[in-house]
Amino acid sequence: MLLREEYGADRIGLSVYLAGVLFDATGDLIQQNPPPTPAELFERFLAWNAPRRRPSCGDDPNPGGA
């Protein structure tokens, strides 16, 4: 929350900062057993800053068709 407050509306700047933090931490994190997956690293470091997309009227609520 402090980072969001510090960066305000500059989500791109915050994303660049978070990518740098991810890069710095990767060396330590890949030594874990088992190492985190790329998806887990994305969730942990970057995804929380992404804007939430709201579905529009034409969006398929079940895109896999299952």
Q: Quick: pLDDT tens for 5-54.
A: 899 889 899 999 999 999 988 888 888 889 888 889 888 888 888 776 66
Domain interval for residue 21: 2-49
- Judged against a pLDDT cut of 80, whether residue 65 lies above it is answered with no
Number of structural domains (the chain) is 1
Amino acid 10: pLDDT: 92
Q: With respect to residue 66, please indicate whether it lies within any of the assigned structural domains.
A: no
Q: Cα dihedral sign for 44, 46, 51, 57?
A: negative
pLDDT for residue 17: 93
